């Protein structure tokens, strides 16, 4: 059961459990000769029972004072799911609505819509190990890969804060990929779910690193492109060939870069919250493979149950004492 104590030196007090063997606390009455007292098996039974209860009460008190607990445990589980890193764009543009305006209450911002829908997505993924990262001017670490859904939900909730001005997707992608670097498990899909409104390109310095890592780590990439009104799409080519470059159309060139990685990749061009919901539902259906994962069970304090048992045993001793026959 992996039992442990916080204060081992207190266990020396367990020798006190021997005290009831020498004194059961019952009043003594004098008789001229014990031969005139008939044999009483019932009284003998209760005499032994009282001693055992007293020993149990002392044992429970000592264990409670020693801080008895069930230590941390790890259990291997098998479910259906994936290892997912949520990579969230936290640039200033995500704080605006799909119409490119500051939210006034009638329409939620893209960041708020993403947080709401991702929360629903996380709640549906029972056995996934999920991590959360973001990027703006620099990469933002929120939560490592974990099966603790409450921690992941708290991390996603924390992303709905005022954003910064710039978008450095290169650093964000490398951080998201680094989540899988120390991962030993080879079961289940390894997914990066990018939620962004574009307006960023991968710099040459990090391009080679990203290409190498996605192949070595067997990454599957999904991009939910939260397209703003009048924003160039992922598939549109400009009328003027001179405008067909990463500076003028960063979203299109980021999509082309992802396509060239040679890994499973799918982009969803979402122009409203309903389209984002459809994309998340699609991903939810696609990624459901057998997954081995380790469930971590935190330390459990057992001192309170020990105190309760000790109180019960002491109460029984008091009842027996009050029921004692007196001459």
Classified as helix, coil or strand, 4 is: strand
Question: What pLDDT is recorded for position 315?
Answer: 93
Contact (CB, 8 A) for 192 and 222 = yes
Q: If you write DSSP's letter for every residue of 260-311 in order, what string do you get?
A: TT-S-EEEEEESSHHHHHHHHHHHHHH--EEEEEEEEEPPEE-HHHHHHHHH
Contact (CB, 8 A) for 137 and 164 = yes
DSSP-derived secondary structure letter, 248: T
Q: Which two tokens stand for residue 314?
A: 């002491």
Q: Which two tokens stand for residue 175?
A: 């951080």
Q: If you write DSSP's letter for every residue of 59-127 in order, what string do you get?
A: HHHHHHHTTEEE--EEEEEEEEEEEEEEEEE-BGGGGS-TTSS---SSS--HHHHHHHHHHHHHHH-SS
Question: What pLDDT is recorded for position 86?
Answer: 92
User: Phi, psi at residue 301, to the nearest 5°?
Assistant: -75, 130
Whole-angstrom distance, CA of residue 122 vs CA of residue 150: 10
Look up tokens 């994962």; give the residue: 293
Residues of the chain with pLDDT under 70: 1, 24-40, 77-79, 99-100, 102-106, 160-165, 183-187, 199, 230, 286-295, 325-327
pLDDT tens-digit profile of 287-308? 666 666 666 778 889 999 999 9
Q: What is the pTM of this model?
A: 0.66
For helices 149-158 and 110-124, what crossing angle results, to 10°?
A: 180
**Domains of the chain with CATH codes:** 3-71+300-322 (no CATH), 74-295 (3.40.50.410)
Question: What pLDDT is recorded for position 165?
Answer: 62
Whole-angstrom distance, CA of residue 176 vs CA of residue 141: 9
296 has which bridge partners? 74
Q: If you write DSSP's letter for every residue of 134-165 in order, what string do you get?
A: EESSSEEEEEEEES-HHHHHHHHHHT-S--BS
Question: What pLDDT is recorded for position 307?
Answer: 94
């Amino acid at each position: 059961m992996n039992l442990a104590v916080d204060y081992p030196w207190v266990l020396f007090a367990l020798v006190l459990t021997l005290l009831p063997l020498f004194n059961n606390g019952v009043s003594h009455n004098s008789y001229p000769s014990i031969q005139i007292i008939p044999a009483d098996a019932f009284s003998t039974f209760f005499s032994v029972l009282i001693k055992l209860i007293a020993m149990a009460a002392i044992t429970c008190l000592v264990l409670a004072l020693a801080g008895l607990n069930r230590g941390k445990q790890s259990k291997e589980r098998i479910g259906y799911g994936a290892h997912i890193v949520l990579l969230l764009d936290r640039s200033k543009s995500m704080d605006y609505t799909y119409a490119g305006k500051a939210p006034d209450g009638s329409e939620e911002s893209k960041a708020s819509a993403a947080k709401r829908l991702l929360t629903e997505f996380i709640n549906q993924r029972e056995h996934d190990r999920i991590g959360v990262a973001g990027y703006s001017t620099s990469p933002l670490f929120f939560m490592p890969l974990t099966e603790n859904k409450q921690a992941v939900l708290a991390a996603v909730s924390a992303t709905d804060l005022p954003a910064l001005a710039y978008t450095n997707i290169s650093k964000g992608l490398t951080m998201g990929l680094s989540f899988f670097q120390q991962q030993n498990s080879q079961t289940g899909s390894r997914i990066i779910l990018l939620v962004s409104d574009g307006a960023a390109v991968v710099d040459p310095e990090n391009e080679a690193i990203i290409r190498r890592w996605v192949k070595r780590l067997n990454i599957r990439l999904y991009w939910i492109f939260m397209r703003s009104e009048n924003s160039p799409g992922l598939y549109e080519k400009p009328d003027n060939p001179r405008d067909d470059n990463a500076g003028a159309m960063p979203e299109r060139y980021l999509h082309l870069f992802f396509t060239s990685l040679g890994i499973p990749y799918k982009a969803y061009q979402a122009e409203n919250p309903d389209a984002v919901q459809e994309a998340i539902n699609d991903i939810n259906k696609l990624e459901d493979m057998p997954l081995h994962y380790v469930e971590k069970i935190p330390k459990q304090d057992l001192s309170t149950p020990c105190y309760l048992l000790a109180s019960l045993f002491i109460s029984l001793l008091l009842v027996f004492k009050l029921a004692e026959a007196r001459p």
